[in-house]
Every structure is written in C-alpha cells, then in structure tokens.
Amino acid sequence: MTRLQFGQQDVEVLEQTTEYDGFFKMVKYRLRHKLFAGGWSGEMDRLLFERGTAVALLPYDPIRDEVVLVEQFRIGAHVAGCAPWQLELVAGMVEEGESAEDVALREAQEEAGLAVSTTEFVTRYLSSSGGCSETLAVLAGQVDSSVAGGLHGLAEEHEDIRVHVVSRAQAYEWVVSGKIENAASIIALQWLQLNYSRLQAQWNGD
C-alpha cells in the first residue's frame, strides 16, 4: 500500500510577504521542500490566493425528494466563458467563532429563507491547492422544500439570489448534462445520488 511520504514538517517557509490585502489576500511565499529522491528543493517563490474557509449546504427534502438550489451572478464564471448566472448550493464564509454547521444554518436563512432541521457532513476539499488556500466543507441539510422560493440575499453585499426547487432526479440530470458547473454542487449532488435512500429513512424517522 502506497503511503504519503511527506507532511507539514517537510516544508520550510523562508519568507512571507503580503502582496495585496483587501476582500481577499495575496501572499508570496519563499520556500523549499523535501524531494521524493532525497534532499531538498531549491528555493522557490509561490504566490497564494488566501480566501479563508467556506461552507456549502445542499438543502434536501426527503419527503418530497427535492433539492433547493440558488442562482446568482458570478464574475469568475463570466470571465471564464461559462454561464454567468450559476446554479449553486447555499454557501458562505466561516467567520471567527463559527462552526461549519453555524454557517450552513445562517446562509440557508439568508440565501433561501430556509430553516434546517438536521445536517450531515459530506466532505471537505481544497478548491485549487496549487494556488489557493481555501478549503470548503460540504454539508447536506434537511428542509421543507414546500416553503422555498422567491428572491433573497443581502442588499449590502450586492446579493441578488433566486431560489429554485427541483426534484433530486432533475438536479442530478443537470450535473450529468453539464448545466451545473461548480465543484461543490457537483460533489454534493453526486453524493446525494448515492445516499438519498439512507437519508429518506433516517430523516423521515423510518
């Protein structure tokens, strides 16, 4: 069985310089690290986009077998030539003192007007480890989709969010067809396709 050979102790950060500090942060690291063949690499510079820790929630109604997705404008999608208005999960950034579940519950209310009765951890992943330190925790949450809908978001954050309620089967078809293009939504909906029967049994109290 192949084992990971190296860990945090096998990287030496020699210098750290903040290049930009605004809504996001750009930091230049001068470092070296151990090599698979032995010894150490030469010194190198790596520019890192530091965005923090995010949480995404897939609201799922096990009784109606429906999911709640949100749609909003994304500048990154626009510049990349993708659909500028993306179908996504409810999501937000972790603030000081918050847990992943705290964020999920807060954002479900802010972005979709939803109360979440139960949550389950799905996974945690790095959004783009070659140049970004952001990690994203994905949760699934039990909701009543019959009360979902309308427009939401915080005006002071320039949010303009439309809520969609669709069947689990339809949402998964959007993953298969490529209509849904962002990683957290794809991961969560694929996970749901594998676990919905169990969630229906657990969350319905059967």
Rounded to two decimals, what is the model's pTM? Answer: 0.88
What residue numbers bound the domain in which 80 lies? Answer: 53-203
| pLDDT tens digits in sequence order for the chain, 206 residues long | 566 689 999 999 999 999 999 888 999 999 999 999 899 999 999 999 988 899 999 999 999 999 999 999 998 899 999 999 999 999 999 988 999 999 999 999 998 999 999 999 999 999 888 889 999 999 999 999 999 888 887 777 777 889 999 999 999 999 999 999 999 999 999 999 999 999 999 998 54
* CA gyration radius, the chain: 20
In this structure, are 35 and 130 located in the same domain? no
Residue 82 is given by DSSP the state S
In this structure, are 40 and 59 located in the same domain? no
Catalytic machinery residues = 157
Report yes or no on 29 lying in a domain: yes
What does 117-165 look like in DSSP terms, one character per residue? -EEEEEEEEES-TTTB--EEEEEEEE--GGG--SEE--GGGT--EEEEE
